[in-house]
Amino acid sequence: MTTTKETTMKTGYAAKRRATNIIVYVILSIMVIIWIFPIVWLVLQSFNTLDSVSTKMFPEGFTLAHYQTLFTDPNVPYGRWMLNTFLVALFSCIISTLFVLMVSYALSRLRFKSRKRLLNMGLILGMFPGFMSMAATYSIMEVFHLEGQLVALIIVYSSGAGLGYQVAKGFFDTIPRALDEAARIDGATSNRIFWVIILPLSKQIIVYTALTTFLGPWADYIFVSYFMKDNEENYTIALGLYKLLDNDHISRYFTTFCAGAVLIAIPITILFIFMQRYYVSGVTGGAVKG
């Protein structure tokens, strides 16, 4: 039988744990409110009857006119921006995903000279933000007369994708090497093993890699603003919406900007909702080994 002292200790421990949980939940609730407040405000402003910036949380009236403006106003070619963004994100996603998976598999399975040096070099290069190379990259695109073209963005987004091998390599490390060895006994090459055996077992990391490589070009502003500049025909959503906030347009198109921001967020939100379990399992699977 438990003594009075043990009962008191258990009661004190339970009370302490309850108090700790309450504090944690309060902090998390405050953080959620702070995080979700700008999103709610943006959505509400997209239905505001006013065109300019409003400091009020709730609009005086509700209208869908700003959503209509996105597709009817010739000064706001939202459909063209969205198509450009989708094409750049789609092709960048396909090319980048293939690069990442092939590089990750090679570093995970193959043993060759300077392998560790390449791993370390890739890790170090990945620590530097990509925009540091914008000037040099733009100069290269000028040589090939690609400045202001969507293909330039696809090249920029996908060319360095192989440096993001860390998570995918960790995932491939968890796949038993016995599968490779058995396939080699049957005469399969490394190329066939990768495409026929490894990839069908790697749905989680494929989805994770595809989502991350798609999201980057979809939401990027820095490279687009630098490469597109005055070529309005090839604006993407990020740059097009930003132009609505300059001094010449903000008083007329601010709530239209809010409507455009809401619309562009919907596809990504739906995508993550349906692919969430693959995304999480890809991250956790890739974190098992380094």
3-class DSSP state for residue 26?
Answer: helix
3-class DSSP state for residue 284?
Answer: helix
Token pair recorded at residue 123: 């890790």
Contact assessment for residue 112 and residue 153, using Cβ atoms and an 8 Å cutoff: no
DSSP secondary structure letters along 122-145: HHHHTTS-GGGGHHHHHHHHHHTT
Rounded to whole angstroms, the Cα distance separating 237 from 86 reads: 9
What is the full per-residue pLDDT of the chain (290 aa) written as tens digits? 456 666 776 677 777 888 888 999 999 999 999 989 888 988 998 898 887 777 777 777 888 999 999 999 888 999 999 999 999 999 999 999 999 999 899 888 888 888 888 888 887 877 777 777 888 888 888 888 888 899 999 999 998 888 888 888 888 888 888 888 888 888 888 888 889 888 888 888 898 899 889 988 998 998 898 888 778 888 999 999 998 888 888 888 989 999 999 999 888 888 878 777 766 665 555 555 44
Paired residues of 48 in beta bridges: 62
Q: Report CA-CA distances (Å) from 287 to 128, 165, 197, 278, 282.
A: 22, 12, 22, 14, 9
Token pair recorded at residue 115: 């392998």
- Give the right CATH number for 66-286 from 1.10.3720.10, 3.40.710.10, 3.40.50.2300, 2.40.30.10: 1.10.3720.10
Rounded to whole angstroms, the Cα distance separating 177 from 172 reads: 9
Contact assessment for residue 172 and residue 251, using Cβ atoms and an 8 Å cutoff: no
Contact assessment for residue 205 and residue 283, using Cβ atoms and an 8 Å cutoff: no
pTM: 0.83
Residue recorded with tokens 């630098």: 226
Structural domain boundaries in the chain: 1-46, 66-286
Largest CA distance in the chain: 85
Contact assessment for residue 225 and residue 97, using Cβ atoms and an 8 Å cutoff: no
Query: Looking at this protein, which amino acid is placed at residue 79?
Result: G
Query: Looking at this protein, which amino acid is placed at residue 170?
Result: G
